[in-house]
Structure 1
Amino acid sequence: MRTKLPVLAVSATVLTAAVIAMAPPAPASDAAAPLSHARTAVHFELAKGQTPENITLAPNGIAYVTFAKARQIAAVSRHGNVRVLATLPAPADGGTHTPALGFPLTTGIVRAHDGTLYFLYATGTADLTGLWRLRPGGRPQRIAALPAAGLPNGLALDEHTRTLYITDSTLGTIWSVPTHGGTATAWSTDPALAPAGFLGANGLQIHNGALWATNLDKGTILRIPIRPDGRAGTAEVTATGLAGIDDFAFTGHGDRILAALDTVNQVALVRPDGTHTIVLTAAEGLQGPTSIALRGDTVYVPSAAYLTATDPNLVLARLDD
């Protein structure tokens, strides 16, 4: 199903002065190994709904983010300049029926090698909730509908099979959709994905022949093997005790993970054996971290300040090993 919007608030000229303030370089922080030199690089404007929910990086140094409460997709340059690429339409009911949250929000985002951005929009309405696509220089299109009763959240792209995978935080499902769009298929409904009162399956990554997902309510990381025929295997819990876990990223060292712990204002280093240590906290500027991305030895940590209601931002740190 494709919904093409003839009129969207799309801006190519919204620059840094009206949107962010750059923080001066900060001295080395008390970040714990293997992270160091943490600093708040960009301050976003809470009053404008600039709550960065998810992030994806491009080779040219640009970071693309979803501003959840503003319903926006934005590009952040290496120098902190922000350009709003699109503002999605508000649902007719104002989004009050969005499951669990009661407001419409843009969530997961990924970038394909050709520059196409794929992202998720949750509104609680059948006409807007789903998977969206923005090609360079184009206009956003919804390319797959998702259930209005669901909350699409995490997003991962397998360019080899041209498949997008989506976590649904309220329906406890991972959906799959071809990159050209179409009908969403329930790839996994493993009980480990289900919520336990609020939000279940959340962050999502493809790594070493499996889909890895988090469960916010249960504080867990899951590994779901991708079988040779593309179907889902049985979910294995690889880590527990991660209160408020949102999205995450692999460090490049096997199955070692950096995980954003939104509700407790922390980033955890999760080892392959499931143990973890805290490597960033509010002392390094975190304000409800939502996701993690890596470019070389630089770690990007956007914070949406959902609970703190103070200073949504982007913290950078160095990965030393």
Structure 2
Amino acid sequence: MPRIPRLTGAAVAALTLGLVMTAPAAPAAEDDPLVTDARVVARFGLAAGQTPENIALEPDGSADLTFAFARRVAHVTVDGTTTSRAQLPEVADPDTPVVHSAVVTGIARAHDGTLYVAYATGTRETGVWRVSPGTAPVQIAQLPPDGFPNGLALDERRGVLYAADSVRGTFWRVPQAGGAATAWATGPALAPLPAPPASGLGANGVKVHRDAVWVSNTDRGTLLRLPVLPDGSAGPVETRGDGLGGIDDFAFPGHGRSALAALGSVGKLVLVGPDGTVTTLLTAQDGLSDPTSVAVRGRTVYVPSAAFTTRRDPNLLVAHLRHLIGRG
């Protein structure tokens, strides 16, 4: 999640990227690493605001990235061709909590190719925006200007989007078609800790998975699960992982409850098991530099790094997942 307000927007530079699915590996011993063959496939420019914050994948394995301080959504094809999907509008006198700049944060993709992004500005432009092919971005829901919409997830079956507000400790629920946002869940488990010494960022990454909404809390270092009840309301918060210092976004490498989590401030990608055990998979030695999000397509793992605190080498890294993780 963005922490550095100094960067300015700019056009996305051309990238060299080969996001080709890795062929299944031969059977391996159980103690072999789960994630292998990590490589940086694209490097970005801090001065141009190219700080990759979140990622959504297309069916062909190409990637849509949000560049937080450039206020841009970019598309990177499997052959490395990069085009601009959208530029979020410039805002006069932005006053976003924590970062004090306009930033585009979470991204979600519908099956028809429509993208949805969260935009935090400190103004009336704060909210959820729709990016449809060939058209300018359109705001479909306003969120409180004094909030910080961050992670964004789409539940197409229910026709709703969930936006995590990192400073208000609230889950906003927004109709996919657009309209008024409603507070779906709130409470101490979603709230940030006082800043300083904490970052002031609570609920952050969001995923819809197995009839539940999952969310990370950056300040509290937790991974949480909120069941979606039959009437659509939120069930009690369940803690599925803790001690995850600097956790940002996460993804599920299969149908189970194990998650891959990006620990931004400590520069790690970890596996959080269904029993809460934490295993380090990738570190700065593999190329991570404040990793912000995770995505999985087949056995390919994508990890963008924004270099918010390291101030060096924002990039996109891909790696090979040895196997998917079942329903445990």
TM-score (norm 1): 0.89
Percent of aligned pairs with the same amino acid: 54
The answer on whether the counterparts of 1:287 and 1:311 sit within 8 Å (CA) in structure 2 is yes
Report the CA distance between 1:236 and its aligned residue.
1.0
Structure 1 residue 304 corresponds to structure 2 residue 302: no
Report the CA distance between 1:21 and its aligned residue.
4.9
1:19 is aligned to 14
1:157 is aligned to 154
CA distance in structure 1 between the partners assigned to 2:43 and 2:137 by the alignment: 26
Q: Secondary structure at the match of 2:116?
A: strand
CA distance in structure 1 between the partners assigned to 2:56 and 2:16 by the alignment: 21
2:269 is aligned to 267
The answer on whether the counterparts of 2:87 and 2:137 sit within 8 Å (CA) in structure 1 is no
The answer on whether the counterparts of 1:42 and 1:80 sit within 8 Å (CA) in structure 2 is no
The correspondence of residues 111-126 of structure 1 with structure 2, limited to 5 A, is: 111-126=109-124
- AA paired with 2:254? G
1:106 is aligned to 104
- AA paired with 1:43? R
CA distance in structure 1 between the partners assigned to 2:283 and 2:255 by the alignment: 22
Q: Secondary structure at the match of 2:151?
A: strand
Report the CA distance between 1:101 and its aligned residue.
1.2
- AA paired with 2:99? L
Q: Secondary structure at the match of 2:47?
A: helix
1:241 is aligned to 243
The answer on whether the counterparts of 2:222 and 2:240 sit within 8 Å (CA) in structure 1 is yes
The correspondence of residues 1-321 of structure 1 with structure 2, limited to 5 A, is: 18-21=13-16, 33-93=33-93, 95=94, 97-126=95-124, 128-197=125-194, 198-321=200-323
Report the CA distance between 1:80 and its aligned residue.
2.6
Deviations 1:239-265 (A, max 9, x none): 100000000001105101000001111
CA distance in structure 2 between the partners assigned to 1:310 and 1:33 by the alignment: 27
- AA paired with 2:318? L
Deviates more, 1:64-73 or 1:42-51: 42-51
Report the CA distance between 1:61 and its aligned residue.
2.5
Cα 1:113–1:22 change in 2 (3 A) is closer
CA distance in structure 2 between the partners assigned to 1:253 and 1:176 by the alignment: 24
The answer on whether the counterparts of 2:17 and 2:76 sit within 8 Å (CA) in structure 1 is no
Structure 2: tracts of 5 or more residues without a match: 1-9, 21-31, 195-199, 324-328
- AA paired with 1:150? G
- AA paired with 2:137? P
- AA paired with 1:204? V
CA distance in structure 1 between the partners assigned to 2:266 and 2:236 by the alignment: 29
The answer on whether the counterparts of 1:247 and 1:292 sit within 8 Å (CA) in structure 2 is yes
- AA paired with 1:219? G
CA distance in structure 1 between the partners assigned to 2:290 and 2:153 by the alignment: 22
CA distance in structure 2 between the partners assigned to 1:88 and 1:251 by the alignment: 31
CA distance in structure 1 between the partners assigned to 2:121 and 2:231 by the alignment: 33
Deviations 1:250-301 (A, max 9, x none): 1105101000001111111100000101100000100110000011100000
- AA paired with 2:72? Q
Report the CA distance between 1:22 and its aligned residue.
5.5
TM-score (norm 2): 0.88
Deviations 1:55-97 (A, max 9, x none): 000112320010001000110111332211222122111x2x1
Q: Secondary structure at the match of 1:20?
A: coil
The answer on whether the counterparts of 1:91 and 1:123 sit within 8 Å (CA) in structure 2 is yes
Report the CA distance between 1:19 and its aligned residue.
3.1
CA distance in structure 1 between the partners assigned to 2:41 and 2:15 by the alignment: 10
Q: Secondary structure at the match of 1:192?
A: helix
The answer on whether the counterparts of 2:54 and 2:304 sit within 8 Å (CA) in structure 1 is yes
- AA paired with 1:98? T
CA distance in structure 2 between the partners assigned to 1:243 and 1:78 by the alignment: 33
Report the CA distance between 1:151 and its aligned residue.
0.3
The answer on whether the counterparts of 1:190 and 1:235 sit within 8 Å (CA) in structure 2 is no
CA distance in structure 2 between the partners assigned to 1:302 and 1:79 by the alignment: 18
Q: Secondary structure at the match of 2:189?
A: helix
Number of paired residues?
297
1:28 is aligned to none
